[in-house]
């Protein structure tokens, strides 16, 4: 399932409820409208495009901070889905009623904030993210290039990352390694689709000879099905 999820990473708005199975090993990512993306070399998307993409709990930090974004936002979303899959292991989360999304924020300042000071709420999306992965390093903050975002992040209290192998104690070291590579704050440090598919965790289930790479935009027939 993880390998199939990675293959739909070029589809924005990826979340657990939109990953659909249609056989072995086919998976699709259901979208609420929009066009299929160009799956060639990722290109930065212009700022005039909407920033309100991806359901809040699966939204990458660069979207929350109103930065230009690439297909790396989809890798973040896939990482969130992967974390939910790992939580389904009884060794990680014993009781099913305790299983939940990795980053269940209540608001998302400034995109969908309920109040002007929502960013101070520990349940605001970015705070929920940092409570797990820790606040970004000074180097990653500087890499943003946007002075207002840099100032905002530098003003946050420092938070240490939680060990992912403690959150998902039933997961293998390889699974934790893949998850960590997907949930990098800095999109430039985040694993790419090709790197994720080549990760050791997916080696037992990957069949590279059966993969095909599209060099032009895909027609998403699932959208036509309504």
Residue 125: pLDDT over 80? yes
Q: How far apart are CA 34 and CA 37, in angstroms?
A: 9
Within 10 Å of residue 211's Cβ, how many Cβ atoms? 11
Q: How far apart are CA 153 and CA 155, in angstroms?
A: 5
Q: Mean pLDDT highest for which of 19-28, 87-96, 175-184? A: 175-184
Say what the pLDDT of residue 166 is.
Answer: 96
pLDDT > 90: percent of the chain: 50
More confident residue, 221 or 48: 221
Could you read off the pLDDT of 150-170 as tens digits, one per residue? 998 998 889 999 999 999 999
Is 28 strand, coil or helix?
strand
CA 122 from chain centre, in angstroms, equals 20
Q: Exposed, middle or buried by CB within 10 Å (0-12, 13-18, 19+), for 225?
A: exposed
CB 130 within 8 A of CB 159: yes
Say what the pLDDT of residue 219 is.
Answer: 77
Say what the pLDDT of residue 162 is.
Answer: 97
CB 59 within 8 A of CB 125: yes
Helical H segments across 48-190, by residue range: 61-64, 72-87, 125-133, 138-143, 147-154, 164-167, 173-182
């Amino acid at each position: 399932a993880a390998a199939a999820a990675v293959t739909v990473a070029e589809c924005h708005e990826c979340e657990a409820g939109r990953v659909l199975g249609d056989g072995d090993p086919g998976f699709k990512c259901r979208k609420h409208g929009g066009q299929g993306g160009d799956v060639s070399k990722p290109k930065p998307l212009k700022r005039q495009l909407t920033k309100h993409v991806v359901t809040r709990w699966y939204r990458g930090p660069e979207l929350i901070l109103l930065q230009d974004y690439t297909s790396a936002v989809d890798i973040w979303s896939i990482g969130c889905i992967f974390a939910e899959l790992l939580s389904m292991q009884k060794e990680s989360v014993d009781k099913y009623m305790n299983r939940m999304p990795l980053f269940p924020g209540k608001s998302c300042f400034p995109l969908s904030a309920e109040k002007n000071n929502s960013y101070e709420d520990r349940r605001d999306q970015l705070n929920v993210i940092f409570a797990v992965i820790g606040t970004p390093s000074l180097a990653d903050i500087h890499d943003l290039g946007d002075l207002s975002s840099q100032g905002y992040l530098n003003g946050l209290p420092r938070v240490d990352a939680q060990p992912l192998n403690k959150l998902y104690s039933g997961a293998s070291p390889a699974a934790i390694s893949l998850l960590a590579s997907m949930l990098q704050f800095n999109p430039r440090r985040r694993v790419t689709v090709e790197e994720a598919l080549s990760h050791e965790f997916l080696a037992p289930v990957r069949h590279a000879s059966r993969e095909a790479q599209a060099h032009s935009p895909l027609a998403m027939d699932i959208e036509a099905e309504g």
